[in-house]
Chain A
């Protein structure tokens, strides 16, 4: 079991309020991703759940039990840190066994669980090495191994892939998702990378300035963003926003169109602009277009499109793919 409930959780550092009050329910076995720009309070929220920061006000429940003031070690949670936070003076085996040693398990039980975790994470050949002798990906796996041996109620991940290179990040992303399928344990994952959020989460929590902007499944957020912030944050490249006359024609203060939802034409369309940069990737073509009014637009076209710098093109939003927002940025 590993349900987590936050009730009006507030956090202030001296006079600065970083979490003004958050309510959230995380169901047992769910993979929840906290996503938001730097400084939005996502890591603080995770640390509050972990017990590494004291809650200023409100309640945190794990499996219905109030743990607001419980020590981190009493919450049955395991955490994987951005910096891996491995114990450099211990071998991989001792690192993974450390939580078991602290729990007072017998040496035989420790060995058995370490062997099992090492097997799952392909770490068996490295058990007698020190963290300093491992690559970044291996270190991250050791950190995950240290978390899974405890069989915790939930895993907390604090930007665990940020220190890895792009290729390794994709591999580890898949590994963590597979691990979640295998263990079926609640996972709370913090990232600023919305691609990680979209690909891994059952449920995404979008945060801004310590407030939850929207909670929902990745496709919910993609298809029905509650406001301009969420619309702009979810999806890659970001959603394009057009204000003024073009928006007024749709009865909105601003309209949003995702890069992949434009129709291109060299002869006619709703908006005209000039291609600034054309990125030809083979599978896709990304066009950075300056509309005649000055608004910059990014267009993603499937396959190869023979358009180049300086070309004049027409853009038309696809039917039913226009997001409308009022002056406050709320979706209409």
Chain B
């Protein structure tokens, strides 16, 4: 029997949903507003919400002080690089787990996921020493590899879920039609799993873009992405909230825009398999 939704109940849920959405969005809005304030207005008490002297000065200062474009390019290289490398590793892994499962496949998947539960700081020192000895500190390739490894369990899990939705008979048909394993994956599996792969890519790009722990610890300048760019504004000579906000806005803007345009794909991807 369908549950009846009374107008009052609907109104309550609508208000609740907007309230929660507002709560989540407020810090971002506040950051953006602060980026247009003077340093004095930024720390004014009581806080000024909309009625302050709007200025672009912070953006100009940030542009002068730091090489935004370099950080931006590093972020793009790291986010895209770690995602593509992750997919190259995860597609075959997820294929074998979804279509050729062994007795312990489920356990392996759980183990992979469990590594995400370990605090990253627990392996910081060994990885740092390893990177130092291999000359990978402050290199894009080093950060790409480490972020790929960190996000690999999520990529494998997501792809595994999408692949499981594809009927095995279709892949068997491809095999009967003379397709090699590579052709089976290229011509049949990947095109069919494309929506899932796109969602996985998007999510992974966002995770890699926002990742701060490893990028801050393994880079200094050359390979530093936008997260390091933001961090450089919490300087020892004191916090400059307005400039920090301007830097943050510039750092999160590209990913926010990307997320906005791909939200339909993301929602579909994240709920895939959960609702049929």
A interface list, Cβ under 8 A from B: 50, 52, 71-73, 77-79, 81-83, 85-89, 98-99, 102-103, 146, 150
Contacts of A103 in B (CB 8 A): 178
- Closest-by-CB residue of B relative to A88 is B192
Interface of B is mostly: helix
Closest 7 pairs between A and B when the two form their complex, measured CB to CB: A85-B173, A102-B178, A99-B177, A85-B169, A73-B178, A79-B176, A89-B191
B interface list, Cβ under 8 A from A: 167, 169-170, 172-180, 183, 187-188, 191-192
Question: Are B180 and A85 in contact, with the CB atoms below 8 A?
Answer: no
Contacts of B177 in A (CB 8 A): 73, 78, 98-99, 102, 146, 150
Question: Are A79 and B173 in contact, with the CB atoms below 8 A?
Answer: yes
Alpha-carbon gap, A89 to B169, bound state (A): 15
Alpha-carbon gap, A98 to B176, bound state (A): 11
Which of B170, B176, B179, B191 has the most C-beta atoms of chain A within 10 angstroms of its own C-beta? B176
Q: A89-B191, A89-B192 are in contact. Are A99 and B169 (CB under 8 A)?
A: no
Interface of A is mostly: loop
Alpha-carbon gap, A15 to B263, bound state (A): 48
Question: Are A83 and B178 in contact, with the CB atoms below 8 A?
Answer: no
Q: Determine how close the nearest CB of chain A comes to the CB of B109; give it in whole angstroms.
A: 20
**15 A-B pairs with C-beta separation under 8 A:** A52-B172, A71-B175, A78-B177, A79-B172, A79-B176, A81-B169, A83-B169, A85-B167, A85-B169, A85-B172, A87-B170, A88-B192, A98-B174, A150-B177, A150-B178
One of A50, A87, A88 near B176 (C-beta < 8 A): A50
Q: Determine how close the nearest CB of chain B comes to the CB of A107; give it in whole angstroms.
A: 16
Question: Are A83 and B167 in contact, with the CB atoms below 8 A?
Answer: yes
Question: Are B172 and A98 in contact, with the CB atoms below 8 A?
Answer: no
Contacts of A77 in B (CB 8 A): 176
- Closest-by-CB residue of B relative to A87 is B188
Question: Are A73 and B176 in contact, with the CB atoms below 8 A?
Answer: yes
Q: Determine how close the nearest CB of chain A comes to the CB of B190; give it in whole angstroms.
A: 10
Contacts of A87 in B (CB 8 A): 170, 173-174, 187-188, 192
Sample of 6 more A-B contacts, CB < 8 Å, known A72-B176, A73-B177, A86-B170: A50-B176, A82-B169, A85-B172, A85-B173, A87-B170, A146-B177
